[in-house]
A and B are shown apart, each in its own frame.
Chain A
Amino acid sequence: MSAITVRDLHVTRGDRPVVRGVSFVARPGEVLALMGASGSGKTTVLRAIAGLERFSTGAIEMAGLSRGPGPLPRGAALRELHARVGIVFQFHNLFAHLTAAHNVWLAPVHVRGAGRDDAERTARRLLDELGVGPRADARPHELSGGEAQRVAIARALAMNPPLLLLDEPTASLDRERRADLARTVRGLVSGGRTILAATHDADFVRACADRVLLLEDGRITRDGAADSPGATGDRPDD
């Protein structure tokens, strides 16, 4: 059984093809790294999976939910989709007017109908586990890049999605924090969760990924184990 199956995905922007026939399968509990240079289409693939980008052909299947080309999901379809997949944005996109904890419990309360107290307890526990418990009452503009990212991860995890997408997760972190994040990511998949991370950070990939997909000019040019030679693309020794 796969956590996600992507088949022949094509995305165009205007006349320009951005993703040109991407296919892959990820298994439950797997950390998959989507690597490639800037503009290779990594982020677009994540956005298509997250329901933020229309695709012109292809199909995406996740835990019994299959989507084809067409308008972006809305209403019940959107909720079904996001019961299966969560995303952590490169720039976090935290809600600027809410505290860190409130960012985390907002969706469980308003989307899942969870009790506010339960949701807040869970939120604080998640923030604790990610090492930002003391920052639970801070506003986003008071957080460092690393803290904001952990809050964003907690926010996505609060909805407990079996598939978590990470877009350039190490971009705002220093070297030490990157190692922390790699450990965190390994911990997240221990319960069977699947992670798909778009990144060009080879260290991070070596530290936590099981498999690497190399994306070049909108196509997957390599699909192999993270520890295989040259798996991280054109910078094998980086």
Chain B
Amino acid sequence: MGFIIRRMRRAFLVAAIVCGLLSARPDAQADSELRFGGDAEGGAPFMEADPNDPSRVVGFEVDVAALLAAGLGRTPRFVQVGFATLDPAVARGDFDIGLSGLEDLPGRRARLAVTVPYYEFREVLTVRQSDAARLTSLAALGGRRVATLGATLAADILDRARAEYGVVPVIYEDDVHPYSDLAVGRVDAVLLDAVLAERGVSRNPGLVNQPAGMGVGHYIGILALENAALRDRIDGLLRAAMQDGRLEAIFRKWRMWNDDQPRLYARVLANTSSGSQAPDPRTVGADPDPGTTGAGPATTEAAPAPESAAAATIRYLPALLRAAVITLLLSCVSMALAVATGLAIATGRVYGGRTLRVLLTGWVELVRGTPLLLQLFVLYFGLESFVQLPAVAAAVLGLGLNYGAYESEIYRGALEAVPPGQLEAARTLGLSEWQALRLVRGPQAFTLALAPMTNDFVALLKDSSLVSMITVVELTKQTSILAANIGSWFLPGLLCAAMYLAMSLPLARLARRLERRWGRGGHL
């Protein structure tokens, strides 16, 4: 599901990516090409579609890939992959190396062959100027919403800050909207790496970066475990580029060069073993205390043994259950709104005047004819300069209004299926039109509508996963976080499917029972 969502989202954003996908033939001339995977949605300075030629990508990662390809005697070829699915994609062989601002995380090291780190960044806290004096640390953000990008070091830091200070992490799918949402007041701070923070501040006047670093991390390249030999050759190429200044030239070109980098290079060059055997412990447990996060001496301690997928899944179970409750609540409230709007629209279309009927028909066609995802984006991001809906409100509104349009068609059909003779009988008994609707037409229409309504509710339950795109962490999103964490969709996928079924199957049963109970006399 997560893959599909990302595919859909892509369609909105960059035409270039379509070209990239079309040209991505996984088995094509693997030895003469260096296929590098990344997410062009990440934008500059990492990689973005070239405005002059959208089929090309530009960015420091593209330059690094070109450098490595040249060293290997291959032609670099870009493969577009969603940021959150880069790890499983490289593991299954969709491309040779992932280069996309990928952080050095313990889970990644355990599952993949990683290169030596080639860029060091600090985690930076961004706040609104008016809060700059107060919100200087994570401790000061207790009870407040702090945005970040999922599956990053910053997300891990925020997760610990949740336990420690009561910070409320808000996980985004991208690194642009955390800053725009900070500017409009939906969140109170953003924690992300300095590269993204600089970009966020430059795009949103009124934001400032706090000087104190909240942790240190590194960008690395990722390869499949069985590609360790290629990884070793690439490590050699990176070290050489660190020594002869080619890497420095790339980062200077993208205005990313700073004093942290020579120190990192010195440590990497001093340690000749490969990246996977020499993790930098400071990236594993980023210290929220800025005093200890400068350029410390490199150590060669091994990373803590990663827990098994099963153990990690069990550890995540409470979070998954909480997410399932959110999915269920979200679906129930949205369905209630859908039923209410559906009834109003259907009643208007059956009983209303011509103008009202035309307006309502137009509304239904508009809502049914455009993607739900687009509607969610418009409600949450598109309207934010007029009205800043909280994410959950936007989610309920989006799902409720969208499904309301479909419900209205069901109800209209059901109302019109009640024989007009019964309505005439109601009339000749003196029942008003409203009484006839309430006592005669409505109850019979309801019986007819029950089965398609249940069907829609089950569909809504699953479509509610789309709201993760506007920062609501529901069941599918929580599952994808777990999957990203343990590097496998197998167990999390099974568990997630079981939870959706546990919610939808009883619903279908209940509907069948109600239909039997109310439908006994409903032969029309």
Contact = CB atoms under 8 A, between A and B. Distances in A.
Interface stretch (A16-24, A90-98, A119-127, A186-194): A90-98
B444 A91 contact: no
B519 to A, nearest CB: 9
A149 to B, nearest CB: 13
Nearest to A75: B432
A78 interface: yes
B421 A93 contact: yes
Interface stretch (B97-105, B118-126, B228-236, B422-430): B422-430
Interface residues of A, number: 32
B522 interface: yes
A96 B424 contact: no
Interface string B205-230: 00000000000000000000000000
A141 interface: yes
Query: Do most interface residues of chain B lie in helix, strand or loop, or is the interface mixed?
Result: helix
A51 B439 contact: no
Contact of B435 (A74, A110, A139): A110
A99 B521 CA distance: 8
B451 to A, nearest CB: 16
B523 A159 contact: no
B428 A97 contact: no
Nearest to B432: A75
B430 A155 contact: no
A99 B432 CA distance: 21
Nearest to A79: B430
Interface in B403-424: 419, 421-422, 424
A126 to B, nearest CB: 14
A51 B428 contact: yes
Contacts of B422: 93-96
A51 B427 contact: yes
Contacts of B440: 95, 97
Given A97-B447, A97-B522, A159 B424 contact: no
Nearest to A90: B421
A208 B352 CA distance: 45
Contacts of A60: none
A96 B521 contact: yes
A50 interface: yes
A119 to B, nearest CB: 12
Contacts of B432: 74-75, 78
A86 B447 contact: no
Nearest to A152: B425
B351 to A, nearest CB: 13
Interface in A150-165: 155-156, 159
Interface string B432-450: 1101000110011001000
B424 A111 contact: no
Interface in B434-478: 435, 439-440, 443-444, 447
A140 interface: yes
A106 interface: yes
B430 A83 contact: yes
B520 A89 contact: no
Contacts of A52: 424, 427-428
Interface of A: 50-52, 74-75, 78-79, 81-83, 85-87, 89, 91, 93-99, 106-107, 110-111, 139-141, 155-156, 159
Given A95-B425, A107-B431, 13 more contacts: A79-B430, A83-B430, A89-B425, A96-B521, A98-B521, A99-B521, A106-B429, A106-B431, A110-B431, A111-B431, A139-B520, A141-B521, A155-B429
Interface of B: 419, 421-422, 424-433, 435, 439-440, 443-444, 447, 518, 520-524
